[in-house]
Amino acid sequence: MHSIVSLISGRGSNFEAIYKAAQTKSWDVRFTGLIANQPEAKGLVFAKSVGIPTAVIDHRAYPSREAFDRALMQQIDAFSADLVVLAGFMRILTPGLIEHYEGRMMNIHPSLLPRFPGLHTHERALEAGDRVHGATVHFVSAGVDEGPIICQSEVPVLPTDTPSELAARVLKTEHQIYPLAVEWFIQGRLQITGNRVRVDPPELQYIPFP
């Protein structure tokens, strides 16, 4: 049985989607902990309501990024994690932490990486005049929003879109691809070679807009 620890900063809807997929599909997993760096993160409420142990590690209480990451790592390991799921965790992680969880830490990013790493992806897609946008689940490696891509989803950009309308369309597909990526991981189907991730047996690692 795999144990999953998730890190969030806010709403936690991606975590909730993963948790619900696990229940619906009876995955052989345990959600051993959810950690937030923001005490008021809404996702904490959901985790508590379904009996998942939670912890708050407020980055503002630590003198440096390294000190915060040490505390984070201790808590993740105390919960015990085969897989660390970053789900809207808005902190840049230090190389030491990233290395510690190499090949077993995933992130979701609201763009078609490598396009638009960083913040404000929906605004940037609109400003660039892109006609397609989307989301990416990837293993975490050094570098912001970098690392081997597990799967991506695509949505159209409509001429009348505001950033929040586009964000809502992308979020719907995030809730499809993140559970899919986690399921592949716990089934032992993900193989990383360099910067490429293969699903074995093969499956489309791309979800087109329905």
Contacts with ligand GRF by CB under 6 A lie at 8, 10-14, 87-88, 108-110, 135, 171, 174
Which position's Cβ is nearest ligand GRF? 88
Q: Confirm if 12 and 38 have CB atoms less than 8 A apart.
A: no
Measure Cα distances from 112 to 44, 169, 171 in Å.
Answer: 28, 14, 13
- Least Å distance, CB 86 to ligand GRF, is 8
* Residues catalogued as catalytic: 109
Concatenated DSSP letters for 81-127? -SEEEESS---PPPHHHHHHTTTSEEEEESSSTTSS-SS-HHHHHHH
CA distance 170 to 89: 17
Rank residues 81 and 85 by Cβ distance to ligand GRF and give the closer one.
85
Shortest gap between Cβ of 25 and ligand GRF (angstroms)? 19
Nearer to ligand GRF by Cβ, of 97 and 177: the residue is 177
Min dist CB 11 to ligand GRF, Å, is 4
CA–CA gap between residue 162 and residue 11 (Å, rounded)? 20
- Report the residue number, 13 or 205, with the smaller CB distance to ligand GRF: 13
Given 3-state DSSP classes, what are the helix, strand and coil percentages for the chain, each rounded to the nearest 5? 35, 25, 40
